[in-house]
């Protein structure tokens, strides 16, 4: 049995407290109206008060050359300037919300990635991993908690507390409304709040049901006299994987792709899947290394760690493959309605966009290609940290350009949201780990797993 | 000086592994072991140094990557930078995504083929090479350990008979 050390508990509580303070600060300091936005833009341009209004003035100058200056034109310029300020206001108001949203979905999907990996291990009758099943179950214990918070955030989006999802905006589908958007209106059969939130409820519910029963059966198998619970787990795992791959794909359209509702990509679901699956495996590896260093995982040897590291390496390459396939196909064909997605990211998010590739591909491939390195704890901790940060940036790149645009910054709101969810994650996961023995007793493959050697 | 060797023949890989361990413990020098299939852990039991083929392969891959990069840069950017369907040929980086499939394949091609050729050269394998089988049965169902004899023939023969060998032969090698 593992006992949640009081030090780690205090540490996670401090993270959560700091996170809440930072999140609160982010919401309080977001501008309330366009006057505040104007002040922020003016102070951004450092003593040069005119710079903020340059676009409007330029436009003004252009119209002056072709037309005589009339009051009508002045009014047009002013309304355009106001429109710009309104746009920036929405982006700045979105900033704390998006920061919360990215961190929330990131940590929830990590535990979902672990759940998918766990189900695959069950169905594949893997002989090496049963000693790690309880670790995986501990990590997936975050799923119910994360799902509830995430679901609340989705409902708040639907209740217009924020502008993360453009298509949830008022009047977007109403003909004649100033906000009317024909493209979104055409998609409203799919992108409408009741259907969207119902799908979310079904997906989150389905995943959590599998998690609940799988753990219950696994614990029951310990006390059982035959393998019936093991077989039950095999069956529900196979069923879950079918359900998962369908819902995962739809989930990625609903919660991530619909942030840019004018854009679509067919391999997006796989791309998101690769991102959180590799994060999930990395998390298993890091938690295993931590528990191993505490001496509570007696039967986990360097061969198990080596296998996890191989999966980290392989799925990092898989993520890159999908990242590049998506990027290169759109870059190559250069169709205007698709390519704007990457134009924004390359022009406005240059460093995070390409930095994510360096962190998620170049770094792991050079470090984890070496067999000996895959058995050295500190190298894996370092590589794992970079991979996790890299995939946070990946989610940041997917979500932020559609919500805050060029107003992005990794500041108090973003870091505080990460800290809050990291603290919560650690608290929930290690509490769950301390609730059951870390070695399944009657798993048919447990003996093989204990003596696993690569 | 005579070049006598002992051929100890086994018909089970577990017995062979035990014999190899005993032989190493008795400090007899194992010249070679012939098996019909890979015996897991035999290299470790014999104390063979790990292979460096993977390191070679990594370096070959880097060569392939460099070659692919150089080739595409020379042809598409330096030599004749045409406008082909609006692709930007002004600098390598601007048109790089189009070259990645080639760079990738060159990397894999060099890494794989040069590694295989290295393997053939290091293990001296080529067409028309004369086979070095000490006993034809070692390609089917027997395992053979070859140990050099240094004026201790009797001792060695009785040693190998005690390790479970089905046959122990003393052979004059040329």
d(CA B42, CA B38): 8
Asked if A328 lies within 8 A of B58 by C-beta distance, the reply is: no
pLDDT in tens, A13-50: 999 999 999 999 999 988 888 888 888 887 776 544 44
CATH number, residue B163: 3.30.70.260
Q: Are residues B85 and B60 part of one domain? A: yes
| Domain count across chain A | 1
Minimal C-alpha gap between A51 and chain B (Å): 31
For residue A327, the chain B residues in CB contact (below 8 A) are 97
In a domain, A115, yes or no: yes
Interface probe for A, chosen from B44, B53, B97 (most Cβ of A below 10 Å), is B97
Separation in Å, CA of A339 to nearest CA in chain B: 14
Q: Do B112 and B144 belong together in one domain? A: no
Provide the residue range defining the domain that includes A403. 6-30+100-450
- pLDDT at A415 exceeding the cut of 60: yes
Nearest partner of A427 among A135, A8, A1, judged by Cα = A8
Contact (CB, 8 A) for A427 and A284: no
Please indicate, yes or no, if residue B31 is contained in any of the structural domains.
Answer: yes
Q: Which domain holds residue B81?
A: 53-123
**Does a structural domain hold residue B58?**
yes
Q: Is residue A151 part of a domain?
A: yes
Nearest CA distance, A347 vs chain B (angstrom): 14
- Rounded to the nearest angstrom, the minimum Cα separation between B51 and chain A is 12
* Total Cβ atoms within 10 A of residue A3: 10
Q: Are residues B16 and B76 in the same domain?
A: no
Contact A324 B54 (CB under 8 A): no
pTM of the complete model: 0.91
- Assess if residue A69 is contained within a domain: no
* B21 and B69 part of one domain: no
Place of tokens 């470790």: B44
DSSP state of A439: S
Tell me, yes or no, whether B157 lies in a domain.
yes
* Element of type H or E holding B10: strand B4-10
How far is A416 from A397, CA to CA, in rounded Å?
A: 18
What's the pLDDT tens digit per position in A129-168?
Answer: 999 999 999 999 999 999 999 999 999 999 999 999 999 9
Q: Which chain A residues are within 8 Å of B86, Cβ to Cβ?
A: 334
Q: Determine, yes or no, domain membership for A52.
A: no
Long-range contacts: A292-298, Cβ < 8 Å, 24+? A292/A377, A293/A377, A294/A2, A294/A5, A296/A1, A296/A2, A296/A438, A297/A131, A297/A135, A297/A438, A298/A439
Distance CA A223, CA A220 (A): 5
The Cβ of residue B19 has, within 10 Å, a number of other Cβ atoms equal to: 24
- The count of structural domains within chain B is 2
Q: Which of A97, A376, A99, A138 is nearest to A280 (CA)?
A: A138
- Quick check: B102 contacting A, CB < 8 Å? no
List beta partners, residue B105. none
Bigger pLDDT: A40 vs A180: A180
User: What ipTM, to 2 d.p.?
Assistant: 0.90
Asked if B97's CB is within 8 angstroms of A332's CB, the reply is yes
Q: Do B97 and A331 touch (CB under 8 A)?
A: yes
A334 shares contact with chain B (CB less than 8 Å): yes
Burial zone of A247 (CB within 10 Å; 0-12 exposed, 13-18 middle, 19+ buried) = buried
What number of residues does chain A have? 454
Average pLDDT over residues B130-147: 92
Residues B106 and B83 occupy one common structural domain? yes
For residue A38, being part of any structural domain is answered with: no
pLDDT category of residue A57 using cuts at 50, 70 and 90: very low
A354 touches chain B (CB under 8 A): no
């Amino acid at each position: 049995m593992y006992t949640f050390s009081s030090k780690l508990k205090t540490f996670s509580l401090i993270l959560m407290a700091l996170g809440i303070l930072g999140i609160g600060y982010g919401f309080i300091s977001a501008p309330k109206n366009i006057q505040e936005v104007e002040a922020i833009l003016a102070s951004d341009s450092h003593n040069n008060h005119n710079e903020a209004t340059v676009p409007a003035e330029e436009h003004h100058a252009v119209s002056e050359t072709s037309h005589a200056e009339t009051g009508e034109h002045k009014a047009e310029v002013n309304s355009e300037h106001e429109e710009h300020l309104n746009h920036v206001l929405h982006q700045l108001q979105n900033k704390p919300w998006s920061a919360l949203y990215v961190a929330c979905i990131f940590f929830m999907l990590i535990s979902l990635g672990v759940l998918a990996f766990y189900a695959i291990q069950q169905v594949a009758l893997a002989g090496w991993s049963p000693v790690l099943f309880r670790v995986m179950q501990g990590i997936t214990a975050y799923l119910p908690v994360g799902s509830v918070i995430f679901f609340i955030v989705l409902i708040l989006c639907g209740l217009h507390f924020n502008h993360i999802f453009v298509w949830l905006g008022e009047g977007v589908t109403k003909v004649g409304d100033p906000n009317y958007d024909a493209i979104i209106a055409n998609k409203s059969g799919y992108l409408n709040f009741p259907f969207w939130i119902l799908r979310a409820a079904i997906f989150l519910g389905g995943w959590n049901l599998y998690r609940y029963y799988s753990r219950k059966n696994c614990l029951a198998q310990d006390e059982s006299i035959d393998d019936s619970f093991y077989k039950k787990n095999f069956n529900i795992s196979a069923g879950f994987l079918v359900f998962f791959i369908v819902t995962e794909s739809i989930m990625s359209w609903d919660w991530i792709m619909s942030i840019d509702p004018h854009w679509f990509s067919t391999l997006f679901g796989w791309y998101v899947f690769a991102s959180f699956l590799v994060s999930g495996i990395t998390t298993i590896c890091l938690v295993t290394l931590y528990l191993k260093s505490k001496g509570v995982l007696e039967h986990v040897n360097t061969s198990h760690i080596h296998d996890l590291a191989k999966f980290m390496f392989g799925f990092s390459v898989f993520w890159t493959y999908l990242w590049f396939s998506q990027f290169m196909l759109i870059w190559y064909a250069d169709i205007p309605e698709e390519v704007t997605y990457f134009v924004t990211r390359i022009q406005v998010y240059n460093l995070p966009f390409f930095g994510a590739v360096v962190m998620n591909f170049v770094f792991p491939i050079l470090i984890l290609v070496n067999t000996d390195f895959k058995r050295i704890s500190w190298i894996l901790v370092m590589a794992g940290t970079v991979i996790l940060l890299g995939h946070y940036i990946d989610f940041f790149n997917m979500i932020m350009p559609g919500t805050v645009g060029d107003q992005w910054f990794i500041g108090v709101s973003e870091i505080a949201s990460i800290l809050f969810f990291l603290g919560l994650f650690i608290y929930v996961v290690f509490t769950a780990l301390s609730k059951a023995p870390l070695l399944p007793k009657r798993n048919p493959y447990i003996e093989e797993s204990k003596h696993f050697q690569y | 000086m005579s070049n006598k060797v002992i051929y100890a023949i086994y018909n089970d890989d577990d017995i062979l592994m035990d014999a190899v361990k005993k032989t190493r413990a008795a400090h007899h020098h194992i010249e070679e072991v012939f098996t019909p299939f890979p015996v897991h852990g035999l290299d470790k039991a014999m104390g063979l140094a790990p292979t460096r083929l993977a390191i070679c392969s990594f370096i070959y891959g880097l060569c392939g990557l460099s070659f692919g990069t150089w080739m595409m840069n020379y042809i598409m950017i330096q030599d004749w930078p045409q406008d082909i369907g609006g692709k930007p040929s002004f600098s390598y980086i601007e048109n790089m995504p189009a070259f990645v499939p080639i760079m990738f394949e060159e990397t894999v091609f060099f890494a794989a083929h040069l590694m295989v050729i290295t393997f053939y050269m290091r293990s001296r394998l080529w067409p028309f090479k004369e086979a070095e089988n000490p006993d034809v049965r070692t390609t089917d169902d027997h395992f053979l350990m070859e140990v050099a004899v240094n004026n201790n023939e009797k001792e060695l023969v009785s040693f190998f008979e005690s390790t479970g060998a089905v046959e122990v032969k003393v052979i004059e090698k040329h």
